[in-house]
Amino acid sequence: MPVIAPMPAARPARISNQRDGAEDVVAAGTTVDHLTETYRAHYRSLLGLAALLLDDTASCEDVVQEAFIRVHSARKRVRDPEKTLAYLRQTVVNLSRSALRRRILGLKLLSKPMPDMASAEEGAYDQLERDSLIKAMKGLQRRQREVLVLRYFADMTEAQVAETLGISLGSVKAYGSRGIAALRVAMEAPA
């Protein structure tokens, strides 16, 4: 069954020239009947050509159908019916190349999976640990909490923490060690 919708055959029309009484022949190009015959005779061979270039049947069928659609649309430009098959073959090759280019581009644009992605259970466990850490941090004295946040979460040196809080370096060390000891006790305690 042809893909091309049946239309009245566009045959070379004879137009009467009123000036000298002679008739001129106007070339109308490849006819729909000729395309239908070409479709019936060469569909399988064009499908085989596409199969040599592409790897799946659906893409091959799409390419061949699109080639016939394009030839049908441009049938007035294909003046010699003998060149219709050559035009179809070239169109199948070009469409196959385009399909391959789109596939390659699609593969390049696919997002790459994150390496060592945590499972949902690990994410839930990490969330529980964060929650218990936040709860334990809230239980610390204000200065201990400030020193630990600036030292370990803001990644400051002890000297920078001392300067930021306006306390001595020894106080930073003392608050830090007492805060860590209190966190350890709070994190190990059963909830």
Tens digits of residue pLDDT in 40-90: 989 999 998 888 888 888 999 999 999 999 988 887 887 777 888 888 999
* pLDDT score, position 72: 86
Between CA 60 and CA 64 the distance in angstroms is 6
Q: Does the structure show a pLDDT above 50 at 26?
A: no
Q: What's the whole-number mean pLDDT along residues 115-130? A: 75
Q: What's the whole-number mean pLDDT along residues 119-147? A: 85
Between CA 155 and CA 37 the distance in angstroms is 78
The more confidently predicted of residues 13 and 140 is 140
Mean pLDDT over each residue of the chain, to the nearest integer: 79
Question: Any idea which of 66-80, 110-124, 163-177 has the lowest mean pLDDT?
Answer: 110-124
The more confidently predicted of residues 20 and 140 is 140
Q: Does the structure show a pLDDT above 70 at 98?
A: yes
Between CA 114 and CA 131 the distance in angstroms is 25
Q: Does the structure show a pLDDT above 80 at 105?
A: yes
CB-CB contact of 3 with 65 (8 Å): yes
The more confidently predicted of residues 119 and 151 is 151
* pLDDT score, position 124: 80
Give this prediction's pTM.
0.44
- Please count the helices (runs of H) and the strands (runs of E) in the chain: 7, 2
Q: Does the structure show a pLDDT above 60 at 119?
A: yes
